[in-house]
Chains A and B, each alone.
Chain A
Amino acid sequence: MEDFSLIGMTSIITAGLTIAIGSIAPAIGEGRAVAQALMAIAQQPDEAGTITRTLFVGLAMVESTAIYCFVVSMILIFANPFWDYTVSQAGD
């Protein structure tokens, strides 16, 4: 029972912290990128297509870091190996 509660607690808390802290930096980065892209489009409306496309590619790159955090938190909650192990041990 000790193991259960401890592992569950740490997993959930860590998952929340992971997605919370891990999405700060990508959010700032994406915001800056969008702001710069808007400025560039405002200065050169003819190049809007190229700027937008490059912006999307860059945003996808930046976003992947946040997605890694998201995946780690998902694994912690839904597919936690330690949790599964303790459950299987308790089942015996």
Chain B
Amino acid sequence: MTISPDNIVLWSWGPVSLNGTLLYSWIVMLLLVGGSWLITHRLSSSTDISRWQNLLEVLIIGMRDQIQEISRQKPGRYLPFVGTLFLFIGTSNLFTIVPGFMPATGSLSTTTALAICVFLAVPLYGITYEGPLHYLKHYIRPTILMLPFNIIGEISRTVALAVRLYGNIMSGTVIVAILISLTPFFFPIVMQLLGLLTGMIQAYIFAILAMVYIASATSAHHQEANGPPEDELATSNETQERS
């Protein structure tokens, strides 16, 4: 029984070894990139759209609305980062039902990498859209005494982000593996269904938390609806101008 796909070494050549995590995350990446490319290079703006384009539109609009509601800012800046997080984790967790596929998110290395991405994205967004001084003022709020606790909180929430995703997905796969060795057909399937639900919820939570952390670093001083300077992004959603 393998705890994480890190331990599955498929191919090694000298110092280079290809383990399961790498392979499966690359499979997911290729699927996402290839699928998106296939769909988006034949977009149409008429009412007669393909079902795949419809799927993508539903996904993108849903993510935009969620980001808009959380951050109270225009979603276009955050959509690439947060949306990619959600799609990658969600796809990885969705494919746990494929036999032989182990989700890359079930290894601590993948989740740590994603959490470090969030950890770096928060100050990047904060400094870009608020300026370094405003961003650094977050750390001495409400008083200067809270500075060490704010820093500790920043680090521990990153650790929690990584470990939460890892623990949920890994426990799901391990439980299914144990059950398959104990009981036949039926019961593992139920647990896999539960694992699917957990996986999608975890993907959602990861993206939402990333967005919440970024929003807390970017939205402190903009009480009005017209926030920081805006990039060239204007869609004619009626949800856009909700202040």
Residues of A that sit less than 8 Å from B by CB: 49-50, 53, 56-57, 59-61, 63-64, 67-68, 70-71, 74, 78
Contact = CB atoms under 8 A, between A and B. Distances in A.
B160 interface: yes
Contacts of B201: 56
A67 B160 contact: yes
Those 3 A-B pairs whose CB atoms lie nearest each other, nearest first:
A64-B160, A67-B167, A60-B205
Contacts of A74: 167
Contacts of A63: 164
B205 A71 contact: no
Contact of B167 (A57, A59, A71): A71
24 contacts: A50-B69, A53-B69, A53-B70, A53-B208, A56-B208, A57-B205, A57-B209, A57-B212, A59-B205, A60-B164, A60-B205, A60-B208, A60-B209, A61-B160, A63-B164, A64-B164, A67-B163, A67-B167, A67-B168, A68-B160, A68-B163, A70-B167, A71-B163, A78-B3
If over half of A's interface residues share one DSSP class (helix, strand or loop), that class is named, otherwise mixed; here it is helix
A52 B210 CA distance: 17
Interface string B199-231: 001001100110010000000000000000000
Contacts of A61: 160
Interface residues of B, number: 16
A30 to B, nearest CB: 13
Max chain B C-beta neighbours (<10 A), residue from A50, A60, A63? A60
B66 interface: yes
Contacts of B70: 53
B171 interface: yes
B164 A56 contact: no
Contacts of A57: 205, 208-209, 212
If over half of B's interface residues share one DSSP class (helix, strand or loop), that class is named, otherwise mixed; here it is helix
A61 B168 CA distance: 14
A13 to B, nearest CB: 20
Contacts, number: 37
Contacts of B160: 61, 64, 67-68
A42 B171 CA distance: 33
Contacts of A49: 69
A37 to B, nearest CB: 14
A61 B204 CA distance: 14
Contacts of B69: 49-50, 53
B159 to A, nearest CB: 9
B205 A56 contact: yes
Given A57-B208, A60-B164, 5 more contacts: A53-B66, A56-B205, A60-B205, A60-B209, A68-B163
A75 to B, nearest CB: 11
B171 to A, nearest CB: 7
A68 B166 CA distance: 11
Interface in B45-84: 66, 69-70
Interface string B141-166: 00000000000000000001001100
Nearest to B171: A70
A84 B70 CA distance: 46
Nearest to A59: B205
